Amino acid sequence: MMRFFRGPPMKTRLKTLILRVLDGHRVMTIATNRPDGWPQATIVGYVNDGFLLYSFVARNSQKYANIVRDPRVSIAIGSDAPQPLDIQGLSLAGKADVVTDQGEFDYVSKLRLRRYPEYASLPNVPGEAPSQRIAPRPDAAGVVLLRIASEIISVLDYSMGFGHSDLITFSDRDLDLHLGSRSHLWAGNEGRQLT
């Protein structure tokens, strides 16, 4: 059983934590909606420009077909921690759009080389979509750049208590409203507001 607490905005702490998690990882799990109704979760590389997420995917991939049909996505970013109270991560809902502006495409390609410098030395095999996804500057004919704008984010921060999360809405590339904090009652936090 979880208890939901309403609390005051915690924008500075949450912004800092969200950006630290985004900047500190290079892969995320993205879940899309398949035509048959089943969710499809895939691990992909990503870069972020502030709170916006970007990912290169093959034009012939199932996830791209799913996003063209339904742009709603769910994303999870995090990793294992040696101590349970060190767990931090993000779970978010957002919408994916295809980047069509060449300037934005080039800018994100440069961001990606900073995040993945090892990609600069990989050979580029023309016409092969898998190699194009990791090319220093992917060929737009076989690869799509997705821009993902978050709408709702659940911020996991177990340093605030085991099972602690903050649920916030997100708009105009900035935190909008802190909806509240949640703590699992089974974690010994019964009745204690954690915000």
From residue 114, give the alpha-carbon distance in Å to each of 31, 48, 138, 194: 26, 11, 15, 37
103-110, long-range: CB within 8 Å, 24+ apart, which pairs?
104/145, 104/147, 105/140, 105/145, 106/137, 107/49, 108/47, 108/49, 108/54, 108/145, 109/136, 109/137, 109/138
**What does the pLDDT read at residue 54?**
95
Q: Show Cβ contacts of residue 103 under 8 Å, excluding neighbours closer than 6 positions.
A: none
pLDDT of 183: 58
Q: Which amino acid type is present at position 103?
A: G
Paired strand residues for 3: 183
Q: What number does CATH give the domain 2-187? A: 2.30.110.10
Q: Please tell me the predicted confidence (pLDDT) of residue 133.
A: 47
Q: Phi, psi at residue 63, to the nearest 5°?
A: -65, -40
Are 98 and 144 in contact by the 8 Å Cβ rule? The answer is: yes
Q: Is 88 left (phi over 0), alpha (psi -120 to 50) or beta?
A: beta
Residue 173's pLDDT is what?
52
DSSP 8-class letter at 122? S
CB atoms within 10 A of CB 8: 8
Q: How much is the pLDDT for 5? A: 42
Per residue of the chain (195 residues), what is the pLDDT tens digit? 344 444 444 478 888 889 999 999 999 999 999 999 999 999 999 999 988 999 999 999 999 999 999 999 999 999 888 888 888 899 999 999 999 998 898 899 888 888 887 776 766 666 554 444 455 556 667 889 999 999 999 888 888 888 888 888 876 555 555 555 555 554 454 444 444
Q: Per-residue b/e over 17-28, b at no fewer than 16 CB within 10 Å? A: bbeebbeebeeb
